[in-house]
Amino acid sequence: KGGAGAVELGKAVMSACKTGSDFKLLYDAKKDSIKTKISKIVTEVYGGGSVTYSEKAESIIAKYEADPAIRILPICMSKTQYSLTDDPKKLGAPKGFNINVKDIYVSAGAGFLVASLGDITFIPGLPIKPAYYKIDLDFSHDPPRIVGLS
């Protein structure tokens, strides 16, 4: 049916938008401290019991709290995809666990603070022009050579 198949869904969404909502934000990004924001995410969303911080994270948070433009940013939690904890071996949704914030940094372009939990491997961002544009075949050789690979 193509787009016509979504008409009923669209009407349901429009109807839902007209009804009232008791939605409220989990925390007040401008008033709550960085640690309060993280604690609310851990306890009220993930079901955790407590949060601890590495010395590095404590030091960075102290600096960020002193900067009014940074302390008001919302929080993004960077953690394993396998669990609501910072431990990929604790599968599913355990309750009452501790989360350790190892690091925290500003993602200025996105407009939030990223709290790094557990052992996270960060991959570099993608370039504007993907590397495959530099890869080609040189037909002046027999057999042709691939060029543009490092």
- Helix (H) or strand (E) holding 17, with range, is helix 7-18
| Cα dihedral 32, 109, 104, 78 in deg (nearest 10) | 100
Q: What is the pTM for the complete model shown?
A: 0.71
User: Mean pLDDT throughout 60-66?
Assistant: 97
pLDDT digits (tens, 9 = 90+) for 2-42: 788 788 889 999 998 888 888 889 999 999 999 999 999 99
